[in-house]
Amino acid sequence: MSFNSFKRALWAYHLNTGSCNGCDIEILAVLTPRYDVERFGIVLVGSPRHADVLLVTGPVARQMVSRLKRVYEQVPDPKMVIVVGNCGIEGGVFHESYNLVGPVDQVIPVDVYVPGCPPRPEAITEAVVKAWVKLEKAEQGVG
């Protein structure tokens, strides 16, 4: 795989919209020495304004809707959204909770889904690479 347009490191911003923290721990595992995606130039950043990819974990709690929308709008274009875990995809064990608005794709557009409860770090890494490929195509379309 070769990237021609998107040559810089891929920066991701992680947002928890109501997760049980299981997926968040797996995202951290991706950064540990065992998987170490930073060697490919994939890093977590502290602000969506610096990010290319938005990593969302958990179903969207009612209080998080406006925050999720605002964070999504703050990511510069072109941007990709990855939903990590079953809860963000279809609600998971929380799907009937009174305080949920629904899965992430009912609030913002989603590009890559990573099923699992929680998904393995390998699956998250593959999702980021898929997002990177989509971003590469989007970058070519924009630039």
Binding residues for another protein, rule: CB under 8 A, are: 15, 47-50, 64, 66-68, 70-71, 73-77, 142
DSSP-derived 3-state class of residue 107: coil
Distance CA 39, CA 29 (A): 14
Shortest distance, position 14 Cβ to another protein, whole Å: 12
Residues 55 and 82: beta-carbon distance below 8 Å: yes
Q: Given the complex with another protein, which of 19 and 125 has the nearer CB atom?
A: 19
Tokens of 116: 């699992």
Q: Which two tokens stand for residue 85?
A: 């875990």
Nearer to another protein, 77 or 96 (CB): 77
Nearer to another protein, 29 or 45 (CB): 45
Min separation Cβ 47 and another protein, Å: 5
In angstroms, give the least distance from the CB of 74 to another protein: 5
CA distance linking residue 73 with residue 99, whole number of Å: 23
